A and B are shown apart, each in its own frame.
Chain A
């Protein structure tokens, strides 16, 4: 079948065709009065053509406001996990979708189906057909023409209808669309390309009629020059965290996961739409929130207008204006664009390095090996428990399904560990590639989930998803000097490299492991470090606040020890794992010693929820800590805004 054919259909025939399509699928049409227009199943209310846009973007049909991810059931000793990807799936045809929303669907398709495809989204998207109906007039806050995603639909639609006086022009976008035409072919007449001229004329007239026409050519430059402009405080003061803007945005994709338990043996993990405009979105365990009110409000605008396009290569805002419609305190993205342009002209600041550095990570096609899908954990049983320090424990575990241990590939930096009924936490992988039979995690008791983990014993069940994250680039370290610096429990992510370095120590030059903590008791891997020190070219150095007689330790900051290390710093790679402030101090000292920032590797950990680059909680600037990181070079770290 040829696609991209052009058809006409008479206005009077449309209802009959919708009925024909409704025989095999559920057809949804715009229904409502005044400005409350929403998609409803055919027959439940009168279809209307008199509307600017739907209240909620079409994403509500494929990425539901609330959906179950998996169900868990404890049967005595066993734990059963059932993925819920196909909940609410059914064949649907959505008719009446505007260009800003078809763009939105094209966006969410690329976001959810690329790089760790989302099974829940996919199950519904595969069964949904989008029929766009192009606009003939603009709403008060419409600016799709300024952004370039409208006014007529160019992507995302299976069929696109353009209204003329007595008929619609129908353009086929995909084979699915063609199939629909074929089902009701007697109502469609083929037409030739000459109609496209008429369509373009109409489009030009509609675009001309838009009250809002903004010139966004230099927007990124302007944004780089106004990151700290005064007007952001006014916007931040107004935001009451209602989350309306992100709910109604066609390109907002963030969510949070919540445990909803029926009782102690049954529960579900569900996901809800979440919003970066609320305080807890980036809040970490110990009251630390990398984003304050100004960062938060600014972040949404920068993400939509700049960061998304920087990372993915396609626009983050479709110009629908709904966020401006629903804000109770009149924060308007349109006004803000104006403010940015005005401030850039009147009062520009020197652009911050993180706004102008172009570092873009490869978007890779990644998949996860698992039984139940991306968001459903695989069940593992705890085999051994070891107490490392009073606050840090080590758990050894094996997958219940032995297949998952066969051909196990050691890649990634962390796993998402689930305590059924309580929640999930990201834990670093502190072991090397040789451990494929058993998995190990070291963790500190800091919150409700780790507290439960702390109480677990042999035989208890947990859930595992992963491994995720960009790991340390082991191969590139060969032949170089290495300096590992980790404080307390932060030594765990470094161990994943230290282990193979130790085994293959001839591949490396001089290796130093610098362990720092307040007290000797708080150090992780105390016995292992004594063994590591025995390796010929590996030396362990300790920097402790309180003195001890257990090892020869320097009393003070680990930074002080660096100049005395007898190393050619240009042949050295440093691997740092500590809090962001410590990392910066260490990096500065290392660069003073002659190191290049590309040879300083760090791990940046932020609040994470899904681990797979979907939920948005770990985003810093344009990058996802879970997918683009958590390992970065210091140069890349400097290209991120200071919100971690």
Chain B
């Protein structure tokens, strides 16, 4: 078994948790972290239980592309990413694209990912229209 120390992914408290994993990679459950400066060994119900969705059968496991009849079909990463790039390039002009392309990043994404989004939006897609859910 292994116990991986990480930070809870729910509210802004950012409590410390250990995720207990069995040898066959099943996630067993959570141990709280007494050492953690914020949570000091305590957790709320989301901290204790909120991990259990990760292997739900409804997880998206493949990129999807919308077909002409309106339904989705599975696609490879290459195909999907190429289509994304193509779609963005079609929307871009040679100048500034602030009103043409919008990017909504996520407060569930890490700092590194949000930084990449800001860079992609401004330096790659050349749009200043980037936002996230802070207002919500």
Complex A–B touching at CB under 8 A: yes
Q: Which residues of A contact B (CB under 8 A)?
A: 33-36, 38, 40-41, 44, 55-56, 60, 64-67, 87-88, 90, 240-244, 247-248, 260-263, 272-273, 278, 325-328
Residues of B within 8 A of A90 (CB): 23
Is B34 a contact partner of A242 (Cβ separation < 8 A)? no
Expressed in whole angstroms, the Cα–Cα distance for A325 and B42 within the complex equals 8
Q: Which residues of B contact A (CB under 8 A)?
A: 1-3, 18, 20, 22-24, 26-35, 41-45, 47-49, 52, 56-57
Residues of B within 8 A of A36 (CB): 18, 31, 33-35
Residues of A within 8 A of B33 (CB): 36
Is A38 a contact partner of B28 (Cβ separation < 8 A)? no
Expressed in whole angstroms, the Cα–Cα distance for A55 and B33 within the complex equals 8
Residues of B within 8 A of A240 (CB): 44-45
Given A34-B35, A44-B2, A55-B34; A241-B41 close (CB under 8 Å): no
Is A242 a contact partner of B44 (Cβ separation < 8 A)? yes
Is A35 a contact partner of B20 (Cβ separation < 8 A)? no
Is B43 a contact partner of A38 (Cβ separation < 8 A)? no
- Chain B residue nearest to A28 (CB atoms) is B1
Given A38-B3, A40-B3; A244-B18 close (CB under 8 Å): no
Expressed in whole angstroms, the Cα–Cα distance for A90 and B22 within the complex equals 11
Chain B CB within 10 Å, residue with most, of A33, A248, A263:
A248
- Residue in B31, B48, B49 whose CB lies within 8 Å of A55: B31
Is B28 a contact partner of A327 (Cβ separation < 8 A)? no
- Residue in A60, A67, A325 whose CB lies within 8 Å of B41: A325
Given A34-B35, A55-B32, A88-B24; A261-B57 close (CB under 8 Å): yes
Expressed in whole angstroms, the Cα–Cα distance for A439 and B56 within the complex equals 35
Residues of A within 8 A of B28 (CB): 60, 64-67
Is B57 a contact partner of A327 (Cβ separation < 8 A)? no
A245 → chain B, closest Cβ, in Å?
Answer: 10
Residues of A within 8 A of B34 (CB): 34-36, 55, 325
Is B22 a contact partner of A326 (Cβ separation < 8 A)? no
A20 → chain B, closest Cβ, in Å?
Answer: 22
A608 → chain B, closest Cβ, in Å?
Answer: 22
Is A242 a contact partner of B26 (Cβ separation < 8 A)? no
- Chain A residue nearest to B46 (CB atoms) is A242
B100 → chain A, closest Cβ, in Å?
Answer: 41
Is B42 a contact partner of A35 (Cβ separation < 8 A)? no
Residues of A within 8 A of B29 (CB): 60, 64-66, 247, 272-273
Residues of B within 8 A of A40 (CB): 1, 3
- Chain B residue nearest to A66 (CB atoms) is B28
- Chain B residue nearest to A246 (CB atoms) is B48
B43 → chain A, closest Cβ, in Å?
Answer: 6
CB<8 Å pairs between A and B, sample of 28? A34-B35, A35-B41, A36-B18, A36-B31, A36-B33, A41-B1, A55-B34, A60-B20, A64-B28, A64-B29, A65-B20, A66-B28, A66-B52, A67-B28, A88-B22, A90-B23, A240-B44, A240-B45, A242-B43, A242-B47, A243-B49, A244-B43, A260-B56, A273-B29, A325-B34, A326-B32, A328-B42, A328-B43
9 closest Cβ pairs, A-B complex: A65-B29, A35-B34, A34-B35, A328-B42, A65-B28, A242-B44, A55-B31, A36-B35, A242-B45
Expressed in whole angstroms, the Cα–Cα distance for A273 and B30 within the complex equals 11
Residues of A within 8 A of B57 (CB): 260-263
Given A66-B29, A88-B23, A243-B49; A33-B42 close (CB under 8 Å): no
- Chain B residue nearest to A68 (CB atoms) is B26
Given A36-B18, A247-B48, A261-B57; A326-B27 close (CB under 8 Å): no
